[in-house]
Chains A and B, each alone.
Chain A
């Protein structure tokens, strides 16, 4: 009997810190609201081509999150308690380097930050990145104007009951009002108010409110209503311009088929394709996720497709996002914390990433 030669021992290993590869249009920042332990929310960076989880940015308690216009930084407006779950409250805006996922600095806020469900308008950059705006709700409504370069609070602007910070241009901030109007405040170079204007009402908060989860469009944002109306707002000029409203549903479907979830639409701006999670339900079902994703052409207003994903293993779809490249990926996060990677042109499910966090409720493109 000859003993087999033992394999060579494994070489000693070296502990290193992984470097991110160059970003691609198919990266996605998945916001995990960590609903069962809300002081520990986070952004997870996921690659829709390799299906790898690339890293994490911590986000604290009920944060606002956003990316800088050039995509190089993340901003998290959040709250910490001195003893973890209790103790002195500190509201703070934190910046991270998106090439290393390391903190770059912070701005301490007055303890007024809006603590609410995720949307693009809890914290937002101006178009040129010169200002950052932080929504305040105490429940009195206002917003902070911040200087991200010098890490300073420049001031606070009262919004007369209108809420959230919808940025446009280098120096305008719009807020949604209960009256269905849009308040737009224009800032001077110091970040102080130079003028304000109130629009005509563009929706009815009683009859058919719009979701605050606006969708970035070519010249502004689209807001979808509970009953499925599309309100496209051009914010490229000094005054908002409201396009004619168009419906996602036929008269027969209205009130029976509804959109719902936590991020209720995604738009491929160059292809003019709008993706909306839809379900059958009645009044009060606006947070129920979609059993289908409906695809629309925002120029013709025609529905192009209805895609159902239950057979692929998805639960109710709560959040959608689409990459902006010519071979786009549609990402769909469901109520079981799965994130599906879908060919946004064909509806083919390429991959389902199981349990990407605890409650993935919003996704951002790099």
Chain B
């Protein structure tokens, strides 16, 4: 049986799952006017997105809204004993990965990031994050976050996910 606390936590995470992307887009819409982003903008006009503009500071690595996490579907290692670039103690990084491009509102640049999974322990279960910018289905595996990227590890259980900057995306 789940406790009420667990249920509340779950529904809160579900809410975060539904709203985090809007918050991010609100931020992007405020900062960027690039033509490439125009297809993203209609959602920015919603009242909820505008309300999110009032957030006092940028989200950090323990938040799904953190800019580097724009296509993570899993648990944030930063909430599980690791950071946005390190696995929690005792977990092993996946050598294979999927790749995305995320916009850093702090410096106005787009970055290519590698989303690695950390492996060998069961699901962390904290800080569920489900963002899917430019995410593609399984037939394009290098852009897919549904696959268990621990698949090639000796211990292929999925624990959590990180986002590691590979470099600035060329315009």
Contacts and interface: CB of A to CB of B under 8 A. Distances in A.
With a 10 A CB-CB cut-off, give which of B25, B70, B136, B137 has the most chain A CB atoms.
B137
A329 B156 CA distance: 39
Contact of A116 (B10, B39, B135, B138): B138
Given A138-B151, A283-B134, A163 B10 contact: no
Nearest to A358: B10
A177 B139 contact: yes
Contact of B157 (A86, A176, A256, A355): A86
A138 B18 CA distance: 31
Contact of A163 (B71, B139, B151): B139
A87 B155 contact: yes
Contact of B151 (A38, A139, A255): A139
A247 B25 CA distance: 26
A57 to B, nearest CB: 20
Given A139-B147, A280-B46, A282-B25, A316 B18 contact: yes
Contacts of B121: 85-86
A36 B2 CA distance: 13
Interface string A20-45: 00000000000000011111000000
B73 interface: yes
Contacts of B25: 282
A115 interface: yes
A162 interface: yes
Where chain A touches its partner, the secondary structure class is: loop
A78 interface: no
B151 A115 contact: yes
A85 B14 CA distance: 25
Contacts, number: 133
A115 B153 CA distance: 13
A255 B123 contact: no
Interface in A32-63: 35-39, 61-62
B21 interface: yes
B28 to A, nearest CB: 10
B171 interface: no
Interface in A166-209: 176-178, 205, 209
Contact of A209 (B18, B137, B151): B137
A325 B11 CA distance: 34
B156 A115 contact: yes
A65 B132 CA distance: 24
With a 10 A CB-CB cut-off, give which of B17, B42, B122 has the most chain A CB atoms.
B122
B157 A283 contact: no
Nearest to B146: A117
A337 B10 contact: yes
Contacts of B125: 36-37
B147 A137 contact: yes
Nearest to A256: B42
Contacts of A284: 21, 40, 70-71, 131-135
B158 interface: yes
Interface stretch (A5-13, A232-240, A285-293, A344-352): A285-293
A137 B138 contact: yes
A113 B158 CA distance: 15
Contact of A282 (B40, B123, B147): B40
B128 interface: yes
Nearest to B141: A139
A289 B158 CA distance: 24
Interface of B: 2, 7, 10-11, 14, 17-18, 21, 25, 39-43, 46, 70-71, 73, 96, 120-123, 125, 128, 130-141, 146-148, 151-152, 155-158
Given A37-B125, A281-B43, 20 more contacts: A35-B123, A35-B128, A36-B123, A37-B122, A38-B123, A86-B120, A86-B157, A114-B147, A115-B148, A115-B151, A115-B156, A137-B138, A164-B138, A176-B139, A255-B39, A283-B134, A285-B43, A287-B132, A316-B14, A335-B14
Interface of A: 35-39, 61-62, 79, 81, 84-87, 89, 114-117, 137-139, 162-164, 176-178, 205, 209-212, 255-256, 280-289, 315-316, 335-337, 355, 358
14 contacts: A61-B157, A62-B158, A81-B155, A81-B157, A86-B120, A86-B121, A139-B141, A163-B141, A164-B139, A209-B137, A212-B139, A280-B43, A284-B135, A285-B43
